[in-house]
């Protein structure tokens, strides 16, 4: 009778960490996601090593539970601990599937219970105030208008190129290229977005760069620059507790509230799962559910 043996490689936690990050990069995970996973696992490994654990094969469920309990005592929020739990489970699942450990100690690790906060949805008064605050800044007004009228992510906006725009009066569209795992799609542009973009293009720096949004010196406008500028205009407009991504939340919520088809909104928002779009419905009042295809202006 022939016996089949599986050979498990001996590896320490730090080397396992590096292999895990390489695996995430190989799957084209978002940069922010990779950084978050890396920090979470680095923190976990530091704790495990302080208790004498050097190899992933030696880690037990009890070790992981003890680590999560320490986080709770250090005043980490349940949401933060849940994220670290997810990072931990993903890490050990990778090690198991890569035959670097024989048993997955994190398979029975439970997430803490916490209540998801509703998305921050700007009122009409708020997003009009944001527009007014940025009125003299042609470039940032175009950025705000594009985020507000299309619901694209800030990372997607920063990667847009001139050739992604089609500003024909009858059928203006925006092509959104894939960005770190996001879905490629084409979004119709309404009149406010077109007008804001046309005014910006008139004053856009003369540069060889194909990036849509550039600095005065002609370099691509970075995500952090966009975020900082919009945060400043939120402050000027007196809008509290809002972040750049809330413009995306506002677009999704407004389209659903006005009766745009759930499937249409989900596709144009680039959501990977319909359930992501559906969760907005619980926070809307008087959702019409008409299923219209035409998008509404904000």
Cα Rg, the chain, nearest whole Å: 23
Report the candidate in 103, 109, 200, 115 with the shortest Cα–Cα distance to residue 160: 200
How many CB atoms neighbour CB 262 within 10 A?
17
Question: Considering the chain, what is the average pLDDT of its residues?
Answer: 89
Determine the pLDDT at residue 114: 73
pLDDT of residue 288: 56
Judged by DSSP in three states, 213 sits in: coil
pLDDT tens-place string over residues 228-247: 999 999 999 999 999 999 99
User: Which two tokens mark 21?
Assistant: 């990050």
Model confidence band, residue 5 (pLDDT cutoffs 50, 70, 90)? very low
Give mean pLDDT, residues 152-175: 91
Pinpoint the residues of the chain covered by CATH 1.10.150.130.
Answer: 13-97
Rounded Cα gap, residues 255 and 262, in angstroms: 9
Lowest mean pLDDT, pick from 59-68, 69-78, 241-250:
69-78
Residue 111 backbone dihedrals phi, psi, to 5 degrees: -80, 145
Give the H or E element holding residue 150: helix 138-150
Q: Which two tokens stand for residue 83?
A: 């994220």
Torsion of CA 290, 291, 297, 298, to 10 degrees: 70
CA proximity to 213, closest of 140, 116, 131, 290: 140
Q: Where in the chain is the domain with CATH 1.10.443.10?
A: 124-283
Does residue 164 register a pLDDT over 60? yes
- Give the per-residue pLDDT at 75: 87
Give the separation between CA 134 and CA 143, rounded to whole angstroms. Answer: 10
Contact indicator for 250, 127 with CB cutoff of 8 Å: yes
- Confirm if 283 and 289 have CB atoms less than 8 A apart: no
pLDDT of 102 strictly over 60: yes
| Domain 124-283: homologous superfamily in CATH | Intergrase catalytic core (1.10.443.10)
Q: Is the dihedral of CA 178, 181, 183, 188 positive or negative?
A: negative
What 3-state DSSP class applies to 160?
coil
If you count them, how many residues does the chain have? Answer: 298
Query: How many angstroms separate the CA atoms of 145 and 262, rounded?
Result: 22
CATH class of 13-97: mainly alpha
> What pTM was computed for the model?
0.70
| Per-residue pLDDT tens digits for 263-291 | 999 999 999 889 889 988 888 866 555 56
pLDDT digits (tens, 9 = 90+) for 114-161: 777 788 999 999 999 999 999 999 999 999 999 999 999 999 999 999
Quickly state the pLDDT bin for 182 (edges 50, 70, 90).
confident
Q: Which is higher by pLDDT, 8 or 166?
A: 166
d(CA 165, CA 257): 27
Query: ∠ CA(141), CA(144), CA(148), 5° rounding?
Result: 135
pLDDT digits (tens, 9 = 90+) for 24-61: 988 878 788 899 999 999 999 999 999 999 999 999 99
Provide the strand spans (E) within the chain.
165-166, 173-176, 185-188
pLDDT-derived band at 199 (thresholds 50, 70, 90) equals very high
At 282 the pLDDT is: 84
Please answer whether residues 37 and 87 qualify as being in contact, where contact means their C-beta atoms are separated by less than 8 angstroms. Answer: yes
What percent of the residues of the chain are helix, what percent strand, and what percent coil, each to the nearest 5?
55, 5, 40
């Amino acid at each position: 009778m022939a016996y089949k043996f599986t050979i498990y490689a001996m590896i320490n936690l730090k080397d396992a960490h590096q292999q895990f990050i390489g695996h995430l990069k190989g799957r084209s995970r978002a940069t922010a996601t990779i950084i978050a996973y890396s920090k979470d696992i680095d923190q976990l490994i530091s704790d495990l090593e302080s208790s004498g654990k050097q190899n992933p094969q030696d880690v037990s469920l009890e070790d992981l539970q003890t680590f999560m309990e320490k986080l709770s005592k250090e005043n980490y929020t349940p949401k933060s601990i849940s994220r670290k739990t997810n990072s931990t489970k993903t890490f050990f699942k990778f090690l198991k599937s890569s035959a670097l450990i024989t048993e997955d100690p994190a398979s029975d690790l439970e997430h803490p219970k916490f209540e998801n906060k509703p998305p921050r949805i700007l009122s009409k008064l708020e997003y009009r105030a944001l527009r007014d605050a940025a009125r003299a800044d042609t470039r940032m007004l175009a950025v705000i208008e594009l985020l507000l009228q299309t619901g694209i992510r800030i990372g997607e906006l920063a990667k847009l190129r001139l050739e992604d725009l089609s500003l024909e009066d009858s059928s203006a569209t925006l092509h959104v290229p894939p960005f770190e795992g996001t879905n490629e799609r084409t979004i119709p542009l309404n009149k406010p977005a077109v007008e804001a973009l046309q005014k910006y293009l008139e004053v856009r720096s003369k540069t060889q760069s194909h990036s849509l949004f550039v600095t005065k010196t002609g370099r691509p406008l970075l995500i952090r620059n966009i975020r900082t500028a919009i945060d400043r205009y939120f402050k000027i407009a007196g809008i509290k507790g809002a972040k750049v991504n809330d413009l995306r939340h506002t677009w999704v919520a407004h389209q659903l509230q006005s009766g745009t088809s759930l499937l249409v909104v989900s596709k144009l928002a680039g959501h990977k799962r319909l359930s992501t779009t559906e969760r907005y419905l619980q926070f809307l009042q008087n959702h019409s559910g008409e299923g219209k295809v035409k998008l509404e202006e904000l």
